[in-house]
Amino acid sequence: MSNAEIQVIYKRPESLTDLHTTYCPGCTHGVAHRLVAEVIDEMGIREKVIGVAPVGCSVFAYNYFNMDFVEAAHGRAPAMATGIKRVLPQNTVFTYQGDGDLASIGMAEIMHAAARGENITVVFINNAIYGMTGGQMAPTTLPGMKTTSSPYGRDVELAGYPIKMAEILSVMEGSGYVVRRSLHDAKHIRQAKKAIRLAFETQERGLGFSMVELLSSCPTNWGLTPQKALEFVEERMVPVFPLGDYKVNAELETLKV
């Protein structure tokens, strides 16, 4: 191969801007953003995508994605996405939400978006903690896990149990594709990307609501190094939040991506 034929094998996706993010070192938001951006590039849909950013660490997601974006109130992204999709059905609409946003304050909005079979895609970052406000207990915080608002560890007798969104949303008849993946190592990241692709394909085919739950790390608020935080995802979170396909529309099962 001559020099003139050098091939680009790795570059920033067109769907990402070249801005530095506000995410902490070792946080998996950057990985999740990149996966979403790669999928949008590969599907060639960037110019028709409208994203909906949440409230939480990814509140500025609209600065990092190179596409039309709106910023929702806390938890309301699925409602906002519904409004957009209903008046612009030819566009591709996705929300990017954390666990406090989606599984606590926005529980009604996500449940009913799924129940209606809203043709939107949801990227759900589950890191078991409120990151932006400095590490409080989330609806997905593990039993016994210490946070600034559960300083003695989450006592399930008083603070209840972690909410398993993929399982819950999978029983909605309006759901076309609901899966849980993890971002703790390269193999699982590749699986996560495939799932994100299938979630967007679900929307493109009009098969209803799609959500990919991504187990993610929060080294800063967990008080762990980035590497230890990834081990925490694998060893502590995966047993509580089992990875898997919870709802897959039959039309997607034969789809090769």
Q: Are strands 175-182 and 244-248 parallel, antiparallel or unpaired?
A: antiparallel
Q: Which stretch binds another protein (CB under 8 A): 74-82, 175-183, 197-205, 206-214?
A: 74-82
The number of C-alpha atoms within 13 Å of 230 and in the hemisphere containing its C-beta is 15
Q: Judge contact between 138 and 161, C-beta under 8 A.
A: no
Residue in 21, 24, 43, 73 binding another protein, rule: CB under 8 A = 73
Taking the least distance from each CB to another protein, the nearer of 70 and 243 is 70
Site string for another protein, 75-94 (x = CB under 8 A): -x--xxxxxx-xxx--x---
Answer for which of 41, 68, 167, 245 binds another protein (CB under 8 A) is 68
Compute how many residues bind another protein; rule: CB under 8 A: 35
CA–CA distance, 238 with 125 (Å, rounded to integer)? 14
Q: Which is nearer to another protein, 30 or 69 (by Cβ)?
A: 69
34 vs 116, which CB is nearer to another protein?
116
Pick the closer one to another protein by CB: 58 or 182. Answer: 58
* Cα–Cα distance measured from residue 122 to residue 129, given in angstroms and rounded to the nearest whole number: 19
Q: Which residues contact 144 (CB under 8 A, 6 or more apart)?
A: 153, 154
Beta carbons within 8 Å of 232's beta carbon, 6+ residues apart = 217, 222, 224
Site string for another protein, 99-118 (x = CB under 8 A): ---------xx-xx---x--
Q: Are strands 175-182 and 136-137 parallel, antiparallel or unpaired?
A: unpaired
Angle at 37 between CA 35 and CA 39, to 5 degrees: 70
Between residues 46 and 236, which has the closer beta carbon with respect to another protein?
46
- Residue (123 or 229) nearer to another protein, CB: 123
Least Å distance, CB 212 to another protein, is 21
Whichever of 62 and 241 has its CB closer to another protein, that residue is 62
Site string for another protein, 25-64 (x = CB under 8 A): ---------------------xxxxx-xx-----x--xx-
Least Å distance, CB 220 to another protein, is 19
Three-class SS of 137-181 = ECCCCCCCCCECCECCCCCHHHHCCCCCHHHHHHCCCCEEEEEEE
In angstroms, give the least distance from the CB of 44 to another protein. Answer: 12
Give the separation between CA 199 and CA 192, rounded to whole angstroms.
Answer: 10
Sign for the CA dihedral angle at 187, 193, 195, 197 comes to negative
Residues that bind another protein (CB under 8 A): 46-50, 52-53, 59, 62-63, 65-73, 76, 79-84, 86-88, 91, 108-109, 111-112, 116
